[in-house]
Structure 1
Amino acid sequence: MSGLLNGIRVVELASWTYVPCGGAALADWGAEVIKVEDTAGGDPCRNLVVGGLTPESSPVRANFMMELGNHGKRSIGVNIKSERGRAIIGKLIASADVFLTNWLPGPLERAGLTVPQIREFNPNVVIARGSGHGSRGAERDRGGFDAASYLARAGVAYALSPSDVEYPVTQGPAFGDLQGGITLAGGIAAALFHRERTGRAPIVDSSLLAQGMWAIAPDIAAADYYGVDRIPAGPAGTALNPAVNRYKTRDGRWVQLMLLQTDRFWQGFCERIGRSDLATDERFVPLSNLVANQEAATAELRRTFAERDLSEWQKTLADEPAVWATLASPREVLDDPQVAANGYLMDVTDDTGKHYRTVCAPVQFDETPPPPSHSPEYGEHTEAILLELGLDWDDITAAKDDGAIL
Structure 2
Amino acid sequence: MGKPLQGIKAVEVAMWAFVPACGGMLADLGVDIVKVEPPRGDPLRGLSIGGMGKGAIDFSWESYNRGKRSVTLDLKHEEGRAVLYRLLEDADVFLTSLLPPARRAMGIDEDAIRARFPKLIYASGSALGPSGPDHEKGGYDAITFWARGGISSSLTEAEALHPVGPPGPAFGDTLSGAMLSGAICAAIAKRALTGEASSVDVSLLGTALWSMQRYVCQATADRVQKFPKPAADKPHNVLVGTYRTSDGRFLALCMLQADKYWAPFCEAAGRADLATDPRFADAAARRENISACYAEVTTLFASRPLAQWKDILSRQQGQWDVVQDVGEMKDDVQALANGYLKHVDCQDGTQIPMVGLPMVFDGEPLASTRSPELGANSDAVLAGLGYSEEQIIDLKVQGVVL
- Give the TM-score band, short-chain normalised: over 0.9
Q: Which among 352, 357, 360 is matched to residue 361 of structure 1?
A: 357
Report the CA distance between 1:237 and its aligned residue: 6.4
Worse-matched range after superposition: 151-160 or 357-366: 357-366
Question: 1:128/1:204 Cα in 2 relative to 1: closer, same or farther (>3 Å)?
Answer: same
The one-letter code matched in structure 1 to 2:124 is: R
Q: Which among 59, 64, 69 is matched to residue 59 of structure 2?
A: 64
Aligned pair 1:14/2:14, yes or no? Answer: yes
User: Which 4+ runs in 1 deviate beyond 6 A?
Assistant: none
The answer to whether the 8 A contact 1:133-1:142 is kept is yes
What pairs with 1:226-305 in structure 2 (closer than 5 Å)? Answer: 226-236=222-232, 239-305=235-301
What pairs with 1:96-107 in structure 2 (closer than 5 Å)? Answer: 96-107=91-102
Report the CA distance between 1:102 and its aligned residue: 0.7
Q: Distance in 2 between matches of 1:238 and 1:355?
A: 48
What pairs with 1:106-255 in structure 2 (closer than 5 Å)? Answer: 106-163=101-158, 165-171=160-166, 172-236=168-232, 239-255=235-251
Question: 1:220/1:201 Cα in 2 relative to 1: closer, same or farther (>3 Å)?
Answer: same
Aligned partner of residue 353 in structure 1, secondary structure: coil
**Paired residue total:** 401
Give structure 1 stretches of 5+ with no counterpart. Answer: none
CA shift digits 1:22-47 (9 cap, x unpaired): 111111111111111001x2111112
**Match of residue 94 from structure 1:** 89
The one-letter code matched in structure 1 to 2:108 is: L
Q: Distance in 2 between matches of 1:97 and 1:55?
A: 38
Report the CA distance between 1:291 and its aligned residue: 2.6
Q: Distance in 2 between matches of 1:274 and 1:201?
A: 63
Q: Distance in 2 between matches of 1:128 and 1:182?
A: 13
The answer to whether the 8 A contact 1:24-1:361 is kept is no
Report the CA distance between 1:209 and its aligned residue: 0.3
Aligned partner of residue 279 in structure 2, secondary structure: coil
The one-letter code matched in structure 2 to 1:42 is: G
**Match of residue 324 from structure 1:** 320
Report the CA distance between 1:273 and its aligned residue: 1.4
Q: Distance in 2 between matches of 1:329 and 1:162?
A: 23
Report the CA distance between 1:313 and its aligned residue: 1.0
Question: 1:101/1:375 Cα in 2 relative to 1: closer, same or farther (>3 Å)?
Answer: same
The answer to whether the 8 A contact 1:127-1:203 is kept is yes
The answer to whether the 8 A contact 1:104-1:143 is kept is yes
The answer to whether the 8 A contact 2:336-2:342 is kept is no
Aligned partner of residue 248 in structure 2, secondary structure: coil
Q: Distance in 2 between matches of 1:205 and 1:22?
A: 12
CA shift digits 1:49-84 (9 cap, x unpaired): 22212352x3xxx31001110111111110011111
**Match of residue 3 from structure 1:** 3
**Match of residue 384 from structure 1:** 380
Aligned partner of residue 204 in structure 1, secondary structure: strand
**Match of residue 50 from structure 1:** 49
Aligned partner of residue 24 in structure 1, secondary structure: helix
The answer to whether the 8 A contact 2:233-2:291 is kept is no
Report the CA distance between 1:320 and its aligned residue: 2.7
Q: Distance in 2 between matches of 1:205 and 1:199?
A: 20
Q: Distance in 2 between matches of 1:230 and 1:380?
A: 50
Q: Distance in 2 between matches of 1:360 and 1:63?
A: 17
Aligned pair 1:349/2:370, yes or no? Answer: no
Worse-matched range after superposition: 393-402 or 346-355: 346-355
Q: Distance in 2 between matches of 1:352 and 1:68?
A: 19
Q: Distance in 2 between matches of 1:290 and 1:10?
A: 57
Q: Distance in 1 between matches of 2:227 and 2:275?
A: 29
Report the CA distance between 1:288 and its aligned residue: 2.3
CA shift digits 1:101-150 (9 cap, x unpaired): 11111110011112121013311110111111111111112111111001
Q: Distance in 2 between matches of 1:167 and 1:291?
A: 32
Report the CA distance between 1:271 and its aligned residue: 1.1
Q: Distance in 1 between matches of 2:115 and 2:381?
A: 21
For normalisation by structure 2, the TM-score amounts to: 0.96
Q: Distance in 2 between matches of 1:24 and 1:130?
A: 14
Q: Distance in 1 between matches of 2:233 and 2:143?
A: 26
The answer to whether the 8 A contact 1:348-1:374 is kept is yes
Q: Distance in 1 between matches of 2:96 and 2:234?
A: 43
**Match of residue 31 from structure 2:** 31
Aligned partner of residue 283 in structure 1, secondary structure: helix
The answer to whether the 8 A contact 2:338-2:360 is kept is no
Matched-pair identity in %: 38
The one-letter code matched in structure 1 to 2:139 is: G
Aligned partner of residue 245 in structure 1, secondary structure: strand
The one-letter code matched in structure 2 to 1:27 is: A
Question: 1:226/1:51 Cα in 2 relative to 1: closer, same or farther (>3 Å)?
Answer: same
The answer to whether the 8 A contact 1:77-1:405 is kept is yes
Aligned partner of residue 253 in structure 2, secondary structure: strand
